[in-house]
Amino acid sequence: MAWTKKLLRVDLSAGVCTEEALNMEWANDYLGQRGLATRYLVDEVDPKCDPLGPDNKLIMTTGPLTGTNASTAGRYSVVCKSPLTNAVACSNSGGFFGAELKMAGWDMIIFEGKAASPVYLHIVDGRAQLHPADDLWGKSVWEADKMLHAKVQDAQTRMALVGRSAEEGCLYAAVVNDLHRAAGRSGVGTVMASKNLKAVAVRGTQGIGNIHDPKRFMETVKAGKKVLAENPVTGQGLPTYGTQVLMNVINEVGALPTRNMSEVQFEGASKVSGEAMHEPRKTDGKPNLTTNGACYACTIACGRISTIDRTHFSVKDKPEYWINSGGLEYEAAWALGPDTGVDDIDALTYCNFLCNEDGMDPISFGSTVAAAMELYEKGVITDSHTGGMELRFGSAEALCWAAEKVAKGEGFGKDLGLGAERLCEKFGHPELSMTVKGQEFPAYDPRGIQGMGLAYATSNRGACHLRGYTVASEILGIPEKTDPLESEGKAGLVKAFQDATAAVDSAGLCVFTTFAWTLDDIAPQVDAACEGDWSPDRMLEVGERIWNMERDFNMKAGIDGSMDTLPKRLLSEGGNSGPAKDRVNELDKMLPEYYELRGWNSSGEITSETRQKFNLPA
């Protein structure tokens, strides 16, 4: 078991909530969370539909382990068709919302249609009701969260909301839960807002009572926790520095994309690193980092809880930001920092706060600002567009201004809310968009980490590090070290990471466990919790099935093999310094082998044999 075997269907057009049995045949093939919700999406949503129209659906989904005490078992995902990429979107978040949804007795919620006016969904265990949210509309996530908590009169209710950026149509808006955890990527928040759905509030008191073999489960959970505690990355590096442990490391290896990926090392990296977050400030003697915080059931606790220097220009007249909240993790720090050339850690933390407060994906936001800065430096975007703001690389003022504008959808913030691809197209320089399939890159330059080039090019949700994190092998040596500058052998590595990650996501666990865990640690936990035999091999097979299904949806949406590519800059302009100097990404050497390993033809189409092997939906 471990599934509640119940899903909640919410017809926003009709204002009706209905309980439905979970399709256990599909759960058998796709496990849960990412895999299972995408199976529903494939069944119910036309791949060619307008992602912001009523025909798109939005699915909030947990995995079979979500809510249990397996380490990191608090994950949920938001699945829909993405308005940023037109591809399948699946954005994963931690915090406490996912576990609460499970405790309320639901494996997933499927939202369909569109409400006539703003609403929120209130779930208390088996009861689910839609209520008017006109008063919450136009409010930030943080403000709406406070108002809604007052309204439901229960501090223990967990909430997921969209902010003003989503309402204003920013194409990379996130769904934010627990104030600073986010289903961040691909514009899933934009889809939620397009349905006039402002918030989901959940209180679950039913617990997780359906574990298949409780005694064995507890043993496997205990063993898993021990592995995480004893591993240097999950036991020491991540709790101490968070994912920001990577900033200096990635800069050293010459793979830190800088100033819109025109360079591969950032001279100010150490100033915005995990180490810098521990340094006492001159003004008040306190470090940026107050403490580390965990998501539900997580024994790693990589989360950063930070403050901004009260004397910093961004907040000196705004006491509402003199609080602790979610601090910089590596991808956000990179996009807001090195990619825009800004080395001011308080400015970065302020922008990070704004991204949480109004629900923007900080990766796409920072990368889009970086593209805009390059357009400004080239004289394409001018002061007349920005209303006088000098949008130069390295300007902390410009960065903070941009975040405020996108958060509220004001002025030039509307253009920045389009994302890098549409912005660069609008200004006639598509080549400056550092995107794949319309989604902005994260923080690893594929010239210095070859496998990541293939991972970006083939990711089913556009450029992304969380679909196949070969950085683990190429830089950190997990599970074994490969040469980051070598493209040979990376096709198999990328495929293995992609398949395993799809399985980990679908279980309801955090992918960061895989710094220490392999499927040999994870499968026993799934096997003890769920009916049926869940061996590592079966998990991998499920992962590969999910990968093919996502690919199939994208192909049907018109996103074919020709889009499995990288921006020219990464394929033709060599790195300017460090170990990757004069190197480009050798995608052309890796892609054909990758297609072959996947069982796709030379155009990247899924062959009928592969389709049959994985019993893909028609």
Binding positions for another protein, rule: CB under 8 A: 67-69, 71, 96, 103, 156, 179, 204-209, 211, 218, 225, 229, 239, 290-299, 301, 303, 305-307, 323-325
Q: How far is the CB of 319 from another protein (least distance, A)?
A: 11
Q: How far is the CB of 112 from another protein (least distance, A)?
A: 30
Closest to another protein by CB, 202 or 256: 202
Q: How far is the CB of 2 from another protein (least distance, A)?
A: 11
Report the C-alpha gap between 490 and 507 in whole angstroms.
26
**H or E segment to which residue 129 belongs:** strand 127-132
- As to burial, measured by CB atoms within 10 angstroms (0-12 exposed, 13-18 middle, 19+ buried), residue 550 is buried
Backbone phi and psi for residue 553, each to the nearest 5 degrees, phi listed first? -60, -45
Q: How far is the CB of 290 from another protein (least distance, A)?
A: 4
CA-based torsion, 52, 56, 60, 61: positive or negative: negative
Report the C-alpha gap between 390 and 255 in whole angstroms.
28
Closest to another protein by CB, 98 or 448: 98
Closest to another protein by CB, 214 or 411: 214
Q: How far is the CB of 587 from another protein (least distance, A)?
A: 40
Q: How far is the CB of 36 from another protein (least distance, A)?
A: 21
Q: Residue type at 540?
A: L
Closest to another protein by CB, 207 or 558: 207
Closest to another protein by CB, 156 or 602: 156
Pairing of strands 175-177, 108-112: unpaired
**H or E segment to which residue 179 belongs:** none
Closest to another protein by CB, 314 or 482: 314
Number of Cβ within 10 Å of residue 572's Cβ equals: 10
Q: How far is the CB of 122 from another protein (least distance, A)?
A: 16
Q: Residue type at 105?
A: G
Closest to another protein by CB, 105 or 413: 105
Residue with tokens 């902010």: 163
Question: Residue 87: helix, strand or coil by DSSP?
Answer: coil
For residue 306 the two structure tokens come to 């930070």
The answer to whether 39 and 29 are in contact (CB under 8 A) is: yes
Q: How far is the CB of 39 from another protein (least distance, A)?
A: 26
Closest to another protein by CB, 40 or 353: 353
- What's the start-to-end Cα distance of the chain, in Å? 28
Under 8 Å CB-to-CB from 282, ≥6 apart: which residues? none
Q: How far is the CB of 436 from another protein (least distance, A)?
A: 35
Closest to another protein by CB, 286 or 378: 286
Q: How far is the CB of 294 from another protein (least distance, A)?
A: 4
Q: How far is the CB of 248 from another protein (least distance, A)?
A: 24
- As to burial, measured by CB atoms within 10 angstroms (0-12 exposed, 13-18 middle, 19+ buried), residue 1 is middle
Query: CA angle at residue 105 from 103 to 108, to 5 degrees?
Result: 100
Report the C-alpha gap between 504 and 249 in whole angstroms.
26
Closest to another protein by CB, 207 or 477: 207
Closest to another protein by CB, 211 or 464: 211
Closest CA to 108 of 21, 48, 193, 171: 21
**H or E segment to which residue 351 belongs:** helix 345-358
Under 8 Å CB-to-CB from 501, ≥6 apart: which residues? 466, 467, 468, 469, 511, 514, 543
Query: CA angle at residue 438 from 436 to 440, to 5 degrees?
Result: 65
